[in-house]
Amino acid sequence: MKLLEGKKALIFGIANQRSIAWGIAQTLHEHGAEIGFSYGIPQLEKRVRPLADELGVTFVEMCDVSSDADITAVFAKAADHFGQIDILVHAIGYALKEDLEGRFVSTSREGFRIAMDISAYSLVALAREAVPLMPAGSAILTLTYYGAEKVVPHYNVMGVAKAALEASTRYLAADLGPQGIRVNAISAGPIKTLAAAGIAGFRKMLGYVGERAPLRRNIDQEEVGKTALWLCSDLASGVTGEVVYVDAGYHILGMSEPPEKWE
Ligand code: NAD
Ligand code: 0WE
């Protein structure tokens, strides 16, 4: 018997074949889950459809999470299509590009609002709509990054939004725990996805982290997928409100071993 046989999973945040959400979708599907996809902007449909077809996914819906109407509509459709939802995956983050380039102190009120709305509040909004469809034993999962707790150059307002997202994970876990719904986050190490492609110096950052992390490498979407499988399955039935690191151990370091070229 597969770990997720008979389970239904709704996954938000697929943009293309590099998306972390796609890595998670593949793993959940491999282990027997029936999947639904939601993507953020109309232009992504031509990227997302072929991926959906690969997994035999027929539920593919646009939803801009900054719109309450979009969120209500997508869950009405999901209720029709799936009846119930056992797994909700939130893999969405956005800040204005200018706010990931300048100094944090320059963040505008509007830039701060947008990053918080799309990257943190959206988890609360999606959870609220999903809960009426979720039986006891269901799981909610989001994606975060180390910049929530320590300063990472240029991550700026996204770090603040991820801190709010991690706190929201704990408050949702406390709220929904009595109903048997678990809420967790995966803190992934840097991966070259669409969201990372626009970041100046991202390749250098991958090199920096891969050289220093305890496992001396970076991580990939499949490794995030495997931890997502664990957190969303009965294997993690006693785990909620947690941030689980899939980062080759980078976050445990107080000071790293000097890379060979320093010695
Ligand atoms: P990605 O670009 O593939 O995914 C980000 C998704 O957010 C896209 O699908 C995009 O369409 C969606 N999105 C943005 N604004 C939206 C809106 N208003 N409504 C609906 N969807 C919207 O990149 P990714 O790296 O796979 O990012 C997925 C998650 O993983 C994000 O939360 C990101 O912060 C997190 N994360 C990424 C890394 C990394 O290094 N790539 C590391 C740790 C955590
Ligand atoms: O959460 C993220 C990326 C989030 C992101 C990326 C973009 C690029 C394009 C949010 N908004 C936008 N807006 C855009 O216009 N990551 C964890 C990946 C990431 O981004 C960084 C990182 C890492 C890691 C930015 C600076 C420093 C490190």
Please answer whether residues 111 and 98 qualify as being in contact, where contact means their C-beta atoms are separated by less than 8 angstroms: yes
Pocket of ligand 1 (CB under 6 A): 13-15, 19-21, 39-41, 44, 64-66, 91-94, 118, 143-145, 188, 190-191, 193-196
**119 domain-assigned:** yes
- The structural domain count of the chain equals 1
**253 domain-assigned:** no
**244 domain-assigned:** yes
**203 domain-assigned:** yes
Which secondary structure element, helix H or strand E, spans residue 27, and what is its range?
helix 20-30
CATH number for the domain harbouring residue 121 = 3.40.50.720
Q: Tens digits of per-residue pLDDT, 181-221?
A: 999 999 999 999 999 988 989 999 999 999 999 999 999 99
Q: Which residues of the chain have pLDDT under 70?
A: 262-263
Helix, strand, coil percentages (3-state) for the chain, rounded to 5, are 50, 15, 35
Dihedral sign of CA atoms 91, 134, 86, 79 in order: negative
Phi, psi of 39, deg, nearest 5: -125, 160
Taking CA atoms only, the protein residue closest to ligand 2 atom 16 is 196
Non-local (6+) Cβ contacts of 118 within 8 A are 65, 66, 92, 93, 94, 95
How confident is the model at residue 198, as a pLDDT?
Answer: 83
CB-side neighbour CA atoms (13 Å) of 143? 29
Q: Tens digits of per-residue pLDDT, 128-140?
A: 999 999 999 999 9
Domain encompassing residue 138 = 8-248
Name the catalytic one among 145, 146, 245, 250: 145
Three-class SS state of 67: coil
Mean pLDDT of the chain: 97
**64 domain-assigned:** yes
